[in-house]
């Protein structure tokens, strides 16, 4: 493995001079700097980010810690983060926690000293311990967090409002028996969306039937199984199914198709997030549109602003949602 000493020896300069060149210091003559970079290229030398950060206190790298990396939602988040990061000349270090607090803490320890700032998605309602363990002095932005920490910036989605608007739409078009497939337990997004569902039903004077609330976990499989449970008792069969995310709504569509139930003629279906695949389903899935890429992009912009100006105030933003009505809701229902 080529070291900084090898570069210094071949370029006939000191190790300190090579270090200054790769740390961005401008105390080295242009001719010398060019020679050092040419030698480094010939030897295929790559500066060690961790070592460089010891002298510059900057890695020009941002850390991203998400609950998972699987699925279109997280892909879109990363896409937005990547767009903003590349615009600002930073690099990314991405990891996942699988919603396990111990794994989050381990990942944060491994990133310490390797990133200038951190974006952390912590949708678990028990995230207080996690947020309390955040490293002091490091700029951090929380995404979709249940916790609002003094001095820590955050970006959220208007989950409750979006869910209320979708349920109001379904009620307006004649649906009264509206089932809800919930998100994962102890998840702030799922709980806020359930709250919006219940609020819209109550405001419309539609009695809540808790048998129509079926537990899911944000996966296609859980949406499929939840829909099958809703279809077992024909007397309880809903006229509409609203899932707390699109993945579960897609699973529900599969279960309805398998059971020979027409969508939307017999049962309307709606989801939440408006992931790219939603528009390509058959029928195309109605959904609450979340600006997913923008969520990642705004978090990155806020984080970089904080890195650029340490006196930059910790911002708290909530991104609005919009309804996207497609074929899965169809014409007015009949209760």
9-18 residue pLDDT tens: 999 999 888 8
46 pLDDT higher than 60: yes
Average of pLDDT values for 76-82? 96
The single-letter DSSP state of residue 12 is: T
Total Cβ atoms within 10 A of residue 65:
23
Contact 208/201 with Cβ under 8 angstroms? yes
Average pLDDT, the chain: 87
Query: 23 vs 302, which has greater pLDDT?
Result: 302
Backbone angles phi, psi at 327, to 5 degrees: -65, -20
Per-residue confidence (pLDDT) for residue 334, from 0 to 100: 41
Over residues 180-195, the mean pLDDT reads 94
Question: In whole angstroms, what is the distance from residue 17 CA to residue 9 CA?
Answer: 11
Residues paired with residue 92 on neighbouring β-strands, in sequence order? 62
Q: What pLDDT, on a 0 to 100 scale, did the predictor assign at position 132?
A: 66
Instruction: Give 282's pLDDT tier (boundaries 50, 70, 90).
Output: very high
Could you give phi then psi for residue 78, rounded to 5 degrees? -65, -35
Quick one: which H or E segment has residue 255?
A: helix 246-258
Domains and CATH numbers, the chain: 4-56 (1.10.260.40), 61-157+292-320 (3.40.50.2300), 159-290 (3.40.50.2300)
Answer yes or no: is pLDDT of 333 > 50.
no
> Tell me, what DSSP letter sits at residue 124?
B
Check residue 40 and give its pLDDT: 87
111 or 91, higher pLDDT: 91
3 state DSSP class of 114: coil
- Residue scoring higher pLDDT (97 or 268): 268
Q: How many helices (H) and strands (E) does the chain have?
A: 12, 12
| 3 state SS of 290 | coil
Q: State the pLDDT at residue 131.
A: 64
For 34, 67, 99, 284, the CA distances from 160, given in Å and listed in that order, are 57, 21, 22, 23
Band (99; pLDDT cuts 50, 70, 90): low
Predicted structure pTM score? 0.80
Output 216 or 121, whichever has higher pLDDT. 216
Q: Reply yes or no on whether the pLDDT at 52 is more than 70.
A: no
Residues 97 and 107: their CA atoms lie apart, in Å, by 8
Asked if pLDDT for residue 234 goes beyond 60, the answer is yes
Q: What percent of the chain has pLDDT over 90?
A: 56
């Amino acid at each position: 493995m080529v070291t900084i000493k090898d570069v210094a020896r071949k370029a006939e300069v000191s190790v300190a001079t090579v270090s200054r060149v790769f740390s961005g210091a401008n105390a080295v003559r242009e001719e010398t700097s060019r020679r050092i970079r040419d030698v480094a290229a010939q030897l295929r030398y790559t500066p060690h980010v961790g070592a460089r950060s010891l002298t510059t206190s900057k890695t020009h790298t941002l850390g991203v810690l998400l609950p998972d990396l699987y699925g279109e939602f997280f892909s879109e988040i990363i896409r937005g983060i990547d767009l903003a990061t590349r615009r600002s000349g930073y690099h990314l270090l991405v990891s996942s926690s699988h919603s396990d607090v111990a794994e989050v803490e381990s990942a944060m320890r491994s990133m310490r000293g390797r990133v200038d700032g951190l974006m952390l998605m912590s949708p678990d309602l028990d995230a207080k311990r996690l947020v309390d363990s955040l490293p002091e002095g490091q700029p951090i932005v929380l995404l979709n967090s249940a916790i609002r920490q003094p001095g820590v910036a955050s970006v959220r989605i208007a989950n409750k409002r979006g869910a209320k608007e979708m349920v109001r739409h379904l009620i307006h078009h004649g649906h009264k028996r509206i089932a809800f497939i919930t998100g994962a337990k102890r998840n702030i997004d799922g709980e806020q969306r359930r709250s919006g569902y219940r609020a819209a039903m109550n405001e419309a004077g539609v009695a809540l039937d808790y048998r129509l609330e079926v537990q899911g976990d944000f996966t296609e499989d859980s949406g499929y199984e939840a829909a099958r449970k809703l279809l077992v008792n024909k007397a309880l069969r809903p006229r509409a199914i609203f899932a707390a995310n699109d993945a579960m709504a897609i699973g529900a569509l599969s279960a309805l198709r398998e059971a020979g139930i027409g969508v939307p003629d017999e049962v309307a279906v709606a989801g939440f997030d408006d992931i790219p695949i939603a528009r390509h389903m058959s029928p195309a899935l109605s959904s609450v549109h979340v600006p997913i890429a923008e969520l990642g992009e705004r978090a990155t912009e806020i984080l970089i602003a904080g890195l650029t100006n340490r006196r930059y105030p910790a911002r708290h933003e909530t991104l609005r949602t919009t309804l996207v009505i497609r074929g899965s809701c169809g014409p007015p229902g009949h209760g």
